[in-house]
Amino acid sequence: MSGWEGSGAPEHLLRALRAEPPLVQCITNYVAMNIAANVLLAAGASPAMVSDAAEAGEFAGIAGAVTINIGTLSAAFLDGMNAAILGAQAAGRPWVLDPVACQATRYRREVVQMLVAQRPAIIRGNASEILSLAGEASHGQGVDGRDTVAAAEDGARRLAQSSGAVVAVTGAVDYVTDGQRAVWIEGGSPFMPMNTALGCALTCLCGAYAAVTDDAFDAAVGALAHFAVAGARAHEGAAGPGSFAPRFLDALALVTPEALAGAVIRDASVPA
């Protein structure tokens, strides 16, 4: 099918987001901070990189959503993450988890399990990270995915069922599931994984979409469709990852709700 039907379709969410730009509190890594903020601004949202525990919980009370990324994990970041999650939960706002390189060290494996237990609305990671979270063998090399998204399909569905989160697995073709509903999303560009932190930025955009709908599945599909359409457009005329990067920011901003309606989204739901 082409396009996700109904009021939760990406084009409707993008219209809502542009009409009232959501404030998204991003606790992300040092590599991603600037890239993710620019991605959110281009897409139409309002980023704030607020992570210290002294204010992260209070700030979460005024944000539309919180996003948490363990890319450059430290004790100080972790304190801020826990404060922000408590603040988001007290305010009834969703939070999104990016389990960067969670397969790599015991510290990351333990921290990410503790975070998953705090009920993120969405978990967005590459296939190697999602396989590890699902308890399966992962071939991830540090922060880079080395597994196919198809290999993580079953694990993603089980992880969604056990955690209660919508799970979004990204790669050449993306997969999103809430444990029952599922879609494949096509598009993007092979230059995307050659630009650092675009996945981290996408996690922040999942927060922006989650701020404008109560349905975390629709939010994840909307954010990933926005990246897929903008990435494919930016690929046209790009000579490599360097010239791709500014075209991608332009494309994120120039994508219209009507263009998002043309995103290639294939239903893969398990029959009830």
Ligand X SMILES: Nc1ncnc2c1ncn2[C@@H]1O[C@H](COP(=O)(O)OP(=O)(O)OP(=O)(O)O)[C@@H](O)[C@H]1O
Asked whether position 200 contacts ligand Cc1ncsc1CCO by CB under 6 A, the answer is: yes
Question: Shortest approach of ligand Cc1ncsc1CCO to residue 199 CB, angstroms?
Answer: 6
Give the up-direction half-sphere exposure of residue 120: CA atoms within 13 A in the CB hemisphere: 29
Residue 180: helix, strand or coil by DSSP? coil
Query: Of ligand Cc1ncsc1CCO, Mg ion, ligand X, none, which one does residue 29 interact with (CB within 5 to 8 Å by kind)?
Result: ligand Cc1ncsc1CCO
Examine residue 33 and tell whether it contacts ligand Cc1ncsc1CCO (CB under 6 A). no
In angstroms, the CA 40 to CA 115 distance is 24
Considering the complex, what minimum distance in angstroms separates the CB of residue 196 from ligand Cc1ncsc1CCO?
5
- Does 245 participate in binding ligand X (rule CB under 6 A)? no
Residue 143 touching ligand Cc1ncsc1CCO (CB under 6 A):
yes
Using the rule CB under 6 A, is 174 a contact of ligand X? yes
If one asks whether residue 43 binds ligand Cc1ncsc1CCO (CB under 6 A), the answer comes out as no
Asked if 31 touches ligand Cc1ncsc1CCO (CB under 6 A), the answer is yes
Say how many C-beta atoms besides its own lie within 10 A of residue 237's C-beta: 9
Nearer to Mg ion, 49 or 91 (CB): 49
Q: Nearest approach, Cβ of 151 to ligand X (angstroms)?
A: 13
Residue from 156, 198, 210, 211 in contact with ligand X (CB under 6 A): 198
Nearest distance from residue 198's CB to ligand Cc1ncsc1CCO, in Å? 8
> Considering CB distances under 5 to 8 angstroms, the limit depending on partner class, which of Mg ion, ligand Cc1ncsc1CCO, ligand X, none binds residue 72?
ligand Cc1ncsc1CCO
| Residues in the chain, total | 272
- Choose, by CB under 6 A, the member of 71, 120, 187, 188 that binds ligand Cc1ncsc1CCO: 71
**Long-range contacts formed by 108-115: CB under 8 A, 24+ apart:** 108/70, 108/73, 111/70, 111/73, 111/78, 112/70, 115/68, 115/70, 115/81, 115/85
Instruction: Please identify which residue in 9, 13, 29, 77 interacts with ligand Cc1ncsc1CCO, judged by CB under 6 A.
Output: 29
What do you get for the CA distance between the two ends of the chain, in Å? Answer: 19
Apex CA 11: angle with CA 39 and CA 217, to 5°? 80
> For residues 107-136, which are near ligand X according to CB under 6 A?
125-126
Q: Which of 129, 124, 105 is nearest to 200 (CA)?
A: 124
Closest CA to 266 of 174, 137, 171: 174
Smallest separation (angstroms) from Mg ion to the CB of 198: 9
One-letter amino acid of 189: S
Strands 166-170 and 174-177: antiparallel
Q: Using an 8 Å Cβ cutoff, are 10 and 212 in contact?
A: no
Q: Which residues would be at the binding site for ligand X (CB under 6 A)? A: 100, 125-126, 143, 145, 170-172, 174, 188-190, 192-193, 196-200, 202, 227, 231
